[in-house]
Amino acid sequence: MSRANATSSHGIVTPVLLAGGAGTRFRDVGHKLSAELPDDRVRPRETVFARALAAVVDADIGRLTVVTGRLGADDLGIAGRDDLTIVHNPDWATGQMTSVHVGITSAHSNGADVVVIGLADQPGIESSAWRAVADAALDGARIAVATYDGRRANPVALHRETWQLLSTTGDEGARGLMRLRPDLVVEVPCTGSPKDIDTVEDLTRWQSN
């Protein structure tokens, strides 16, 4: 039995990977999600996007929705994959929250009770983090946020009761709501790294580790 089926009696979870950003700080060498990371003890040489995607797929918490934007499904190498739901955000240039809502709308249409949202430019997020915040939401948390050494980061699980409370604009994701409604938030300690790749210098640090 898959994990998705095993947890269905407690609610349907839809993981959402946001891959819709412009990547404007990553200059002169293409888009950051298409940049290559070296192999490590677990993963082969692959793109930033592919490594982030693999972590969500390996978490096995539900059918994954990928939100595209500046880069489309062909650019990301996922066109035609029947194991993913791929949705495009036509308003990707106006801010991350538009991609969040595109992902939530897709999840809602599939009957989801919980969305777990992460970013495609954070290849150090581990499968265990996706599972941990999903479990916390299924256990009753309205917002479950991963923490690393006590600092909040991604992924974030949002119960459907919170979706209408989210801002519709901006780049903060769920952080604004967590500040406004700390009573809804459960912190979930996780392993891995929430560092994102925004610049060529960020990539160089990854490649040299």
Total number of domains in the chain: 1
Residues 205 and 6: their CA atoms lie apart, in Å, by 39
Contact yes or no for 174/156 (Cβ under 8 A)? yes
pLDDT digits (tens, 9 = 90+) for 116-152: 999 999 999 999 999 999 999 999 999 999 999 999 9
pLDDT at 7 over 50: no
pTM listed for this prediction? 0.91
What is the domain range of residue 87? 3-208
pLDDT at 2 over 70: no
Query: Please, which residues have CB within 8 angstroms of residue 32's CB and are 6 or more apart in sequence?
Result: 23, 25, 26, 48, 121, 197, 198, 203
Long-range CB contacts (within 8 A, 24+) of 160-164? 160/108, 160/112, 160/113, 160/114, 160/115, 163/104, 163/108, 163/115
Average the pLDDT over each of 38-42, 96-100, 116-120 and give the range with the smallest value: 38-42
- CATH number, domain of 84, equals 3.90.550.10
In this predicted structure, what is the pLDDT of residue 23? Answer: 56
Per DSSP, the three-state class of 31 is coil
How many helical (H) and strand (E) elements, i.e. helices and strands, does the chain have?
7, 9
pLDDT at 41 over 90: no
DSSP 111: T
Amino acid at 100: V
